[in-house]
C-alpha cells in the first residue's frame, strides 16, 4: 500500500493539524501518510496580511505542489482558504470542526484590562470588534506564530493578544487564555476552527478515499459562513465575522460587519435547512448590503 504525501506549512500549528488529519485518515483507511513541509508566501513575507493579499498567501504554494503531482493532498486552516474555487483543485473534506472561538491571552478578562491597555492582533475583524467592546484600548497590529505573539505578553510588550482558541488548543498553549469570546461578544472569522482537505479534482480514487474525513454538519456550517464572505467579496482584510451551527437539522447563521473604528456595526441572523447552506449565506449577505455593509467595509 503506497504512502500518501500530505502537503502542509512548516509551522508547529500547521504540522500538528496536518498530523491529526493524517492519523485520522490512516485510522479510517489503513493508508500510511507522510507529511511534506512547504514554505508559503505568508510564511516568508512578514508584512500584515491585508498588505500582501490576505487570503491565498498561505495556500497557493501548496496547491501548486498538488497540481504538479509532487504531493497527493494538502491540509489548510479553512479560514486561510479563498472563497473562490481554484481550477483543478477539489475541496474534498472538511473534518469535524474544533473550537470556533477567539481567545484573549493575558492576565484576565477583557473587562479587567486597564484603560489604554495594549492588545495585539493582526486581524481587522478582531480590531473592529475589540474597539466596539473596549474603545479605550490601544489595539496593536502584530504577526508571527502563536509562540511569538504570546511572548509579547509574557515579556510585557503587550497586555494581551487575541488568537484562535482552536490553534492554541492544538499546540497545547492555552495556559495564558484569560477569556474565551462567545459569538455574542465577538464573531469569529468564517471557517475558524475548521480544517480543509484538498486534492486534484481529477483524482477520483483519492477523492473517494479522503471523503471519509468529511463531516456534514461542519460542511453545512462553514459553507454558510463562507457564502457570506464570498458575496461581500471580503477576505481577511475586512472586518467581517460569521458563525453557523447545525442543531436538530436546523442551520443557524449570524454574521456581522463592523467599521474599523468599532463605532458602527451591522449584525444579522438567519436560519434554514443545512442543505441550503450556501443560499442562506448569500441571502444574509444581501441583507447586510441592504443595511449598508459596503460602507462599513470602506473604513471609518
Half-sphere exposure of 260 toward its Cβ, with a 13 Å CA cutoff?
14
Q: Is the Cβ–Cβ distance between 67 and 91 less than 8 Å?
A: no
Tell me 84's DSSP state: S
At residue 240, the 3 state secondary structure works out as: strand
- Which burial class, exposed, middle or buried, applies to 211 when counting CB atoms under 10 A from its CB (0-12, 13-18, 19+)? exposed
Q: Is 80 a catalytic residue?
A: yes
Phi, psi angle pair for 173, to nearest 5°: -125, 50
- Which burial class, exposed, middle or buried, applies to 1 when counting CB atoms under 10 A from its CB (0-12, 13-18, 19+)? exposed
The residue assigned the cell 508571527 is 144
Taking Cα atoms as reference points, which of 227, 215, 160, 162 lies closest to residue 188?
A: 162
Catalytic residue among 23, 43, 80, 147: 80
Q: Which residues are catalytic?
A: 80
Amino acid at each position: 500500500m503506497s504512502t500518501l504525501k500530505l502537503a502542509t506549512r512548516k509551522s508547529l500549528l500547521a504540522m500538528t493539524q496536518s498530523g491529526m488529519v493524517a492519523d485520522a485518515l490512516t485510522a479510517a483507511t489503513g493508508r500510511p501518510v507522510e507529511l511534506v513541509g512547504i514554505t508559503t508566501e505568508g510564511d516568508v513575507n512578514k508584512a500584515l496580511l491585508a498588505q500582501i493579499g490576505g487570503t491565498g498567501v498561505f495556500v497557493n504554494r501548496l496547491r501548486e505542489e498538488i497540481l504538479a503531482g509532487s504531493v497527493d493532498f494538502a491540509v489548510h486552516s479553512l479560514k486561510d482558504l479563498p472563497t473562490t474555487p481554484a481550477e483543478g483543485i477539489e475541496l474534498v473534506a472538511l473534518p469535524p470542526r474544533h473550537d470556533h472561538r477567539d481567545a484573549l491571552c493575558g492576565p484576565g478578562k477583557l473587562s479587567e484590562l486597564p484603560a489604554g491597555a495594549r492588545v495585539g492582533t493582526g486581524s481587522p475583524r478582531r480590531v473592529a470588534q475589540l474597539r466596539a467592546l473596549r474603545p479605550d484600548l490601544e489595539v496593536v497590529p502584530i504577526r508571527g506564530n502563536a509562540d511569538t505573539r504570546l511572548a509579547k505578553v509574557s515579556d510585557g510588550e503587550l497586555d494581551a493578544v487575541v488568537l484562535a482558541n482552536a490553534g492554541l488548543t492544538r499546540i497545547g498553549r492555552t495556559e495564558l487564555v484569560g477569556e474565551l469570546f462567545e459569538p455574542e461578544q465577538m464573531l469569529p472569522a468564517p471557517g475558524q476552527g475548521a480544517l480543509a482537505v484538498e486534492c486534484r479534482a481529477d483524482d477520483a480514487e483519492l477523492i473517494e478515499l479522503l471523503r471519509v474525513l468529511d463531516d456534514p454538519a461542519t460542511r453545512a456550517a462553514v459553507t454558510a459562513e463562507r457564502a457570506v464572505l464570498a458575496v461581500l467579496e471580503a477576505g481577511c482584510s475586512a472586518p467581517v465575522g460569521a458563525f453557523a451551527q447545525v442543531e436538530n437539522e436546523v442551520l443557524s447563521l449570524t454574521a456581522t460587519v463592523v467599521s474599523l473604528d468599532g463605532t458602527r456595526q451591522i449584525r444579522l441572523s438567519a436560519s434554514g435547512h443545512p442543505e441550503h447552506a450556501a443560499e442562506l449565506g448569500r441571502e444574509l449577505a444581501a441583507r447586510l448590503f441592504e443595511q449598508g455593509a459596503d460602507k462599513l467595509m470602506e473604513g471609518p
